[in-house]
Amino acid sequence: MSETPKGANVSTSQHVLEDTFSPATDLVLEFQETFQRIQAELAKAIIGYEELIQDILIAFFAGGHVLIEGVPGTGKTLLVRSLARVLNLSFSRIQFTVDLMPADVTGTRMVVDQDDGRRNFVFAEGPIFSHVLLADEINRSTPKTQAALLEAMAELQVTVAGTTYQLHPPFLVLATLNPIEMEGTYPLPEAQLDRFFFKVRLTYPTHHEVRRIISSTTTTTEPEIQPVFSETEAAEKIMAFRHLVRDVLVAPHIEEYIAALIHATLPADALYMNQTDTAEVTLPKDDLVSRYVNFGSSPRGGQTLMLGAKVAALLDGRANVSYDDVDQVMLPALNHRLVLNFAAEAENVDPASIIERILQSAKKIQR
């Protein structure tokens, strides 16, 4: 078992839990090695974006979905298709348009002629019945179609004509947003954005990366990506790793820290604020939060911080979460969960700058 994070106060009961967890040490090492193998295989097809790929994999092994914001032509489809290939999972892509209907996503009932001349209704599965789904430009479809996808994300099921059909885990949705053309789009409501585990930004590649891209993609040679799992064991192994993530230990002071971070995103005069709060660990309200934030993160943001930090701990070979693990995942976990006001837009203040200020303030309560 690895060392406890510096400065952490570990109780005797936690030591007992760590001893209980010790038989899974080999599984922790296997998780590390598998994660690194996935990254290495993806690097054969994807140039750059190492941090973004790590965030996507953290969300995947934590059981979440990812919203990707980026301009066209930066490799989003290639990234998702390559990920499904490396994991040896089924892959589907849906191009969301204004005329896309829910049945185009979930599937529909069709009339089929039988050999005896009778006709029966048969359910024809839609592209959502896959393990890895790329929802391209999700904000171009109507709210009704978006809701059909979000039911599958939240409940791992779809409902067609009053009948519920279960999806097969693992299930990962990577949805993209095009920030260039916003005319004729249907922005995701805050409640639907909250369903996404992470929101990451796909930036332009650097000069050196562009040179490598145009050099490697304009020849007859194609990258040979090797799956890290066999087809028969892929789903079972991935679900075992997801269970391992939830077994990672979290000390009480880390739980207090995460709760304090979530409350730090709420402005002092926020609506629906509970005035009887008696928290032992709190952060002072930052001026940027009070000035520019209408609504802060929901408790789901705290769940995301917890699970993301557990994956980060495993990647470092530990079965217990540290402050640094939480800090590492805070930006992708919360930057789509802060609702800013008009003043923030007018003064070009984004959620990332507010989250960074909160993290700087949080250093004071780490012990």
- Record: fold of 12-89+170-365: Helicase, Ruva Protein; domain 3 (1.10.8)
Amino acid 76 reads K
Give pLDDT tens digits along the chain (367 positions): 444 444 444 444 444 444 444 436 788 899 999 999 999 999 988 888 899 999 999 999 999 999 998 877 778 888 899 999 999 999 999 999 888 998 888 988 888 877 777 888 888 888 999 999 999 988 888 888 888 888 888 888 888 888 888 898 899 999 988 777 666 578 888 878 888 999 998 888 889 988 988 888 888 888 888 999 988 899 999 999 999 999 999 999 999 999 999 988 988 776 766 666 666 556 777 788 888 888 888 899 999 999 999 999 999 988 899 999 999 999 999 999 998 889 888 888 889 999 999 988 888 776 6
pLDDT at 273: 67
Domain locations in the chain as residue ranges: 12-89+170-365
CA angle 237, 240, 245 (to 5 degrees): 130
Task: Provide the token pair at 262.
Answer: 């979530």
Q: Return d(Cα 86, Cα 139) in angstroms, integer.
A: 28
Neighbours of 202 (CB within 10 A): 18
Is residue 308 within 8 Å of residue 329, measured between CB atoms? yes
Say how far residue 83 (Cα) sits from the centre of its chain: 14
pLDDT at 60: 95
User: Alpha carbon of 131 to those of 40, 74, 241, 286, 307: distances in Å?
Assistant: 21, 23, 16, 41, 21
